[in-house]
Amino acid sequence: MALSATALCIANIVDNVATHEIFAAHLVRHLAQPGRTVLLFLQVSVVFALFGVLQGLKTGIEHAVSATRADLLLVHSRLSLGDSIPLAMLEQIKSVPGVTFVDPVELFTATYQNPEQRLGVVAIRTDPGWLSAFTFTVAPEYDAAFHKTRAGALVRPETAKKYGWKIGDHIPLMSVTAQLNGSTDWTFDLVGTFTDSDLGAGGDVIMINYDYFDEARLAAKGTVRHFNVALADPKLAATVADEIDGRFANSSNETQTESLRELGQSQMQAIGDLNFLIRAIVGAAVVALLFATAAMMMQSIRERTPELAVLKTLGFTDRAVFFLILTEAIAVCVAAAAFGLALAALAFPFAAKILPGISLPGAIVEAGLACAVLVALISAAVPAALAARLRIVAALAER
C-alpha cells in the first residue's frame, strides 16, 4: 500500500509538471505570434510613453512653480506686464515695511548680426545687494566689473559659447529702441557671465546697466517695465503686496504686485487646467487602447478555439483557461507599458535642459504599471470568459 501511494504521488507530481509545461508552452506560443503581439505591444507602448511624458511634464511645471521664490515680488502696471511705470515710484516702494531691496527693471529685445539671432535685454541697477532681488548667480569678480563698467554686460555662459563671445569683447546689438543721436545700434562690453536656473537652457539674455541705458535712450526716459522687490520674510509677501498696491491706488499708475510664484501659478492657469487636460488626453488614449486590446484578444480566442479545446481535454479547468487568457494579456500589457515608460524616462534628461525639474517619479511608474494591469484585466475579461465556457465537442468540430 505504501508503494502504491508513493507511485500515485509521483504520478500526480509528474502530471502537474506536465500540465504547467503545457500552460507555459501555450503562453509562449501565443506570444510568439509576431504580427498580433507586436501590434498590441506597440499600441500599449505608445499610450504609456504618452502617459509618462505628460505626467513628467506636469511634474516639471509644478516643480518649476514650487521652486520659484515666494520672497521676491514684481510690481508692474495693473494694465499689463508690458506697460511701463515711472521710475519715481521706487522710493515709495522702498519705504514699505518688510522691503529690503528694490531694483528697477527695463526690458527690450535686440538682435545680433541678423534678425534671427534675437536676445532679450534686461536693464537693471547694480547697487550693493542687487542680487537679492533676482534669481541670478554672478561671481564676485564679474559683479564688481559689472558695477564699475557703465556699458558693461553679463550673459549666460551658453549664450557666450553660442556666439563665440569672450570677456572684454564689444557686443554690437541692433534694436528698435533709439539712442539720443537717433541710432538704433547699441554696443556693450562683456564683463562676465551669470547663471539663472529659472531660464533653464532656453533664452538668450544679456543684462546691462539701467542708468546707462536710460540716459542713452531717446524716448520713455525715467520709466521701467517693473520693479523687483526683495523681502525680509516670505510670510510678508501678501501684506507687502497689498501695501504697495494701496499706495498707488486711484492714481494714474495703479500697480499690481505679485510674487514670482504667484506669477508662475497665474501663467499656468492661463494655459488651462493642466491636470484636466492630461487626464482627458490619457483617458481618451486608454479607452481607445481598451477597445483595440479587447478586439485583438477576441480575434486571438477565435483563432485558437481548437487549441483551447485540446487544453481542456488534457484536464485544464474553466478557471485555469480563464486565468491563462488573463495572464497572456497582463504579460504583454505590463511589458509594453514598462517599455513605453522607459522611453519616456530616457527623453527626460534632454527635456530637463529646457524645463528644469522635469522627471518621471517612481510613483508615476507604479501607477502606469498598475494601469497596464487594469487595462489587461478589463480588455481580456470577456474573451477569457468566453474561452472558459468553451465546449470541447463544439470546438473540436470546427477543426
Q: Which three cell numbers stand for residue 171?
A: 557686443
156 vs 287, residue with greater confidence: 156
pLDDT above 70 for 198: no
Please, which pLDDT band fits residue 396 given cuts at 50, 70 and 90?
A: low
For residues 173 and 166, give the distance between their C-alpha atoms in angstroms, rounded to a whole number. 16
Choose the most confident range, by mean pLDDT, from 126-130, 183-187, 383-387: 183-187
Mean pLDDT, range 243-270, rounded to an integer: 81
8 Å CB contact between 325 and 380: yes
Q: Give pLDDT, residue 339.
A: 92
Please, which pLDDT band fits residue 382 given cuts at 50, 70 and 90?
A: confident
Q: Give pLDDT, residue 184.
A: 93
Residue 126 is which amino acid?
Answer: T
Mean pLDDT, range 137-155, rounded to an integer: 94
Please, which pLDDT band fits residue 394 given cuts at 50, 70 and 90?
A: low
pLDDT above 90 for 100: yes
Please, which pLDDT band fits residue 354 given cuts at 50, 70 and 90?
A: low
Please, which pLDDT band fits residue 214 given cuts at 50, 70 and 90?
A: very high
Q: Which three cell numbers stand for residue 235?
A: 510670510
Q: What pTM value is reported for the model?
A: 0.62
**pLDDT tens by residue, 293-304:** 888 777 777 766
Q: Give pLDDT, residue 316.
A: 72
Q: Give pLDDT, residue 10.
A: 32
Domain boundaries, the chain: 22-65+272-397, 72-232
Please, which pLDDT band fits residue 281 given cuts at 50, 70 and 90?
A: confident
Q: Give pLDDT, residue 108.
A: 92
Please, which pLDDT band fits residue 289 given cuts at 50, 70 and 90?
A: confident
61 vs 132, residue with greater confidence: 132
Residue 9 is which amino acid?
Answer: C
Please, which pLDDT band fits residue 179 given cuts at 50, 70 and 90?
A: very high
Q: Give pLDDT, residue 26.
A: 47
CA atoms within 13 A on the CB side of 225: 12
For residues 203 and 65, give the distance between their C-alpha atoms in angstroms, rounded to a whole number. 18
Of the candidate ranges 95-99, 196-200, 331-335, the one whose mean pLDDT is the lowest: 196-200
For residues 291 and 379, give the distance between their C-alpha atoms in angstroms, rounded to a whole number. 7
350 vs 398, residue with greater confidence: 350
8 Å CB contact between 293 and 329: yes
Please, which pLDDT band fits residue 58 given cuts at 50, 70 and 90?
A: confident
**What are the residues facing 186 on neighbouring strands?**
173
264 vs 226, residue with greater confidence: 226
pLDDT above 70 for 273: no
Length of the chain: 399
Residue 399 is which amino acid?
Answer: R
Mean pLDDT estimate for the chain = 80
**What are the residues facing 105 on neighbouring strands?**
124, 226
Please, which pLDDT band fits residue 120 given cuts at 50, 70 and 90?
A: very high
Q: Give pLDDT, residue 367.
A: 87
Q: Give pLDDT, residue 345.
A: 84
Residue ranges of the alpha helices (H) in the chain?
Answer: 2-31, 34-67, 90-94, 140-148, 157-163, 210-216, 237-247, 260-271, 274-303, 305-313, 318-351, 362-388, 392-397
